[in-house]
Structure 1
Amino acid sequence: MGGNGKQRTWKIFIRRSSKPKLDPKTPPTEFVCPISGSLMSDPVIVSSGQTFERVAVQVCIDLNFSPILENGSRPDFSTVIPNLAIKTTILNWCNKSHTEHPHAPDYASLESLVREKMAAEAPQVEERIRVSEKELLNAVAENPQVNFSHAATELGTRINHFDSGSSVESVIIGESHGTPLPFTIRPTCLSSNSSSSIEISEIEILKPSGEVTEEEEKLLTKLTSSEVFEQEEGVISLRSITRNNEEARFSFCTQRLLFVLRLLIQSRYTVVQVNAFASLVNLSLEKRNKVKIVRSGFVPLLIDALKAGSSETQEHAAGALFSLVLDDDNKMAIGVLGALQPLMYALRLDSERTSHDSALALYHLTLVQTNRVKLIKLAAIPALLSLVKSNTRDLASRVLLILCNLAACVEGQTAMLDANAVECLVGLLRENELNSESTRENCVAALSVLSLRSLRFKGLAKEAGAVEVLKEIEKTGTERAREKAKRMLEMMKAFGEEEGILESGGLARTWNRVGGGATTF
Structure 2
Amino acid sequence: METNSVRCLTNSLSRFIHLMSCQTWKSMPTQYLKSMAALLKHLKPLLDDIDDEKIDSYSNLWKACENLDKSVNAAGDFIERWSPKRSKILSVLQTEQLLTKIRSSSLEICGILCRLLRTSSGSSGLAGVQVCTEIMHCVQELQSWDTERISKHIEQALKSKNEELVSCNEHLAEIVGSLGLVSNEELLTESIAVEKERMKVESSKSNEEMDQINQIVDLLDLIRQYTLKSGLSGSMNGVTIPVYFRCPLSLDFMSDPVIVASGTTFERSSIQKWLENGLKVCPKTRQYLSHINLIPNYTVKALIANWLDDNNLKSPDGSEIDKVNQEETSQTDNFSSQDIIRTDSFRCSVHSSDSMSRSSLEAVDVGGPSLSEEVSSSTCRSIEHSYTHSRSHSAASVLSSSDIISEGTLLSTSKVGKGSLDDYSRAISLRSADSGYDETTTSVHVDELVQNLKSPSNALQNAAALELRLLAKHNMENRVIIGKCGAVGPLVSLLRSDAKVTQEHAVTALLNLSLNEENKAMIALTGVIEPLVHVLKSGSDAAKENSAATLFSLSLLEDYKSKIGRSGAVRALVNLLGRGTSRGRKDAATALFNLSICHDNKAPIVKAGAVKYLVQLLDPSKGMVDKSVALLANLSTIPEGRLAIAREKGIPLLVEIVDVGSQRGKENAASVLLQLCLNSSKFCTLVLEEGAVPPLVALSQSGTPRAKEKAQQLLSHFRNQREGTSKKRS
| TM-score after normalising by structure 2 | 0.41
| SS of 2:483 mapped into structure 1 | coil
2:514 to 267, 284, 300: 284
CA distance in 2, matches of 1:428, 1:240: 42
- Distance 1:236-1:398 versus aligned 2 partners, 3 A rule: same
- Distance 1:379-1:279 versus aligned 2 partners, 3 A rule: closer
Q: State the superposition RMSD in angstroms.
A: 3.9
1:462 to 655, 675, 688: 688
Tell me, yes or no, if the aligned pair for 1:79 and 1:438 is still in contact at 8 Å: no
CA distance in 2, matches of 1:386, 1:343: 16
Tell me, yes or no, if the aligned pair for 2:537 and 2:572 is still in contact at 8 Å: yes
Tell me, yes or no, if the aligned pair for 2:465 and 2:505 is still in contact at 8 Å: yes
The match for 1:487 is 713
| SS of 1:465 mapped into structure 2 | coil
The match for 1:257 is 487
CA distance in 1, matches of 2:708, 2:716: 12
Q: Which runs of 5+ in 2 are unaligned?
A: 1-304, 311-323, 332-337, 376-441
Tell me, yes or no, if the aligned pair for 2:670 and 2:707 is still in contact at 8 Å: yes
Tell me, yes or no, if the aligned pair for 1:145 and 1:367 is still in contact at 8 Å: no
CA distance in 2, matches of 1:400, 1:146: 9
Taking the TM superposition and a 5 Å limit, the aligned residue runs for 1:22-421 are 80-81=327-328, 129=341, 133-138=344-349, 141=356, 167=369, 169=371, 213-253=443-483, 256-349=486-579, 351-388=581-618, 390-391=619-620, 393-421=622-650
Tell me, yes or no, if the aligned pair for 1:167 and 1:409 is still in contact at 8 Å: no
- Distance 1:404-1:142 versus aligned 2 partners, 3 A rule: closer
CA distance in 1, matches of 2:675, 2:495: 41
Q: Deviations over 1:330-372 (max 9, x none)?
A: 1111111111111111123452221101100010111122211
- Distance 1:450-1:62 versus aligned 2 partners, 3 A rule: farther
Q: Deviations over 1:149-189 (max 9, x none)?
A: xxxxxxxxxxxxxxxx951646999xxxxxxxxxxxxxxxx
The match for 1:500 is 726
Tell me, yes or no, if the aligned pair for 2:370 and 2:597 is still in contact at 8 Å: no
CA distance in 2, matches of 1:237, 1:438: 41
| SS of 2:496 mapped into structure 1 | coil
Residue 402 (structure 1) shift: 1.3
Looking at both structures, which has the greater relative contact order when contacts are Cα pairs under 8 Å and sequence separation is at least 6? 1
| TM-score after normalising by structure 1 | 0.55
CA distance in 2, matches of 1:83, 1:398: 15
Letter aligned with residue 167 of structure 1: P
Letter aligned with residue 459 of structure 1: T
- Distance 1:141-1:393 versus aligned 2 partners, 3 A rule: same
- Distance 1:265-1:477 versus aligned 2 partners, 3 A rule: same
| SS of 1:253 mapped into structure 2 | helix
- Distance 1:355-1:172 versus aligned 2 partners, 3 A rule: closer
Residue 454 (structure 1) shift: 4.4
Letter aligned with residue 464 of structure 1: E
- Distance 1:277-1:82 versus aligned 2 partners, 3 A rule: closer
CA distance in 1, matches of 2:574, 2:449: 36
| SS of 2:527 mapped into structure 1 | coil
CA distance in 1, matches of 2:330, 2:645: 34
| SS of 1:138 mapped into structure 2 | coil
327-336 vs 302-311, greater mean Cα deviation: 302-311
CA distance in 2, matches of 1:79, 1:488: 28
Instruction: Give the length in aligned residue pairs.
Output: 333
Tell me, yes or no, if the aligned pair for 1:325 and 1:334 is still in contact at 8 Å: yes
The match for 2:76 is none
CA distance in 1, matches of 2:596, 2:329: 32
Q: Deviations over 1:279-312 (max 9, x none)?
A: 0111222333334323313222222222232122
| SS of 2:531 mapped into structure 1 | helix
Residue 466 (structure 1) shift: 1.6
Tell me, yes or no, if the aligned pair for 2:504 and 2:539 is still in contact at 8 Å: no
Structure with the higher fraction of residues in helix conformation = 2
| SS of 2:575 mapped into structure 1 | helix
Letter aligned with residue 404 of structure 1: A
Residue 403 (structure 1) shift: 0.9
Letter aligned with residue 275 of structure 1: H
The match for 2:11 is none
Tell me, yes or no, if the aligned pair for 2:576 and 2:585 is still in contact at 8 Å: yes
Tell me, yes or no, if the aligned pair for 1:306 and 1:318 is still in contact at 8 Å: yes
- Distance 1:378-1:460 versus aligned 2 partners, 3 A rule: same
Identity rate of aligned residues, in percent? 28
Letter aligned with residue 623 of structure 2: D
CA distance in 1, matches of 2:699, 2:672: 14
- Distance 1:255-1:413 versus aligned 2 partners, 3 A rule: farther
Q: Does 1:425 align with 2:664?
A: no
216-225 vs 366-375, greater mean Cα deviation: 216-225
- Distance 1:361-1:374 versus aligned 2 partners, 3 A rule: same
CA distance in 1, matches of 2:502, 2:666: 43
Letter aligned with residue 640 of structure 2: E
CA distance in 2, matches of 1:500, 1:439: 34
- Distance 1:494-1:81 versus aligned 2 partners, 3 A rule: same
Tell me, yes or no, if the aligned pair for 1:239 and 1:282 is still in contact at 8 Å: yes
251-260 vs 391-400, greater mean Cα deviation: 251-260
137-146 vs 299-308, greater mean Cα deviation: 137-146
Tell me, yes or no, if the aligned pair for 1:136 and 1:285 is still in contact at 8 Å: no
Q: Deviations over 1:421-461 (max 9, x none)?
A: 4344114444x3x4x33323322232233344544443333
CA distance in 1, matches of 2:561, 2:697: 38
CA distance in 2, matches of 1:366, 1:83: 26
Q: Which runs of 5+ in 1 are unaligned?
A: 1-57, 64-76, 85-124, 148-164, 174-211, 505-521
| SS of 1:265 mapped into structure 2 | helix
Residue 145 (structure 1) shift: 5.6
Tell me, yes or no, if the aligned pair for 2:494 and 2:502 is still in contact at 8 Å: yes
Larger radius of gyration: 2
Q: Deviations over 1:256-299 (max 9, x none)?
A: 42221123233344443322121011122233333432331322
CA distance in 2, matches of 1:257, 1:172: 30
Letter aligned with residue 635 of structure 2: L
CA distance in 1, matches of 2:368, 2:706: 22
2:673 to 420, 440, 447: 447
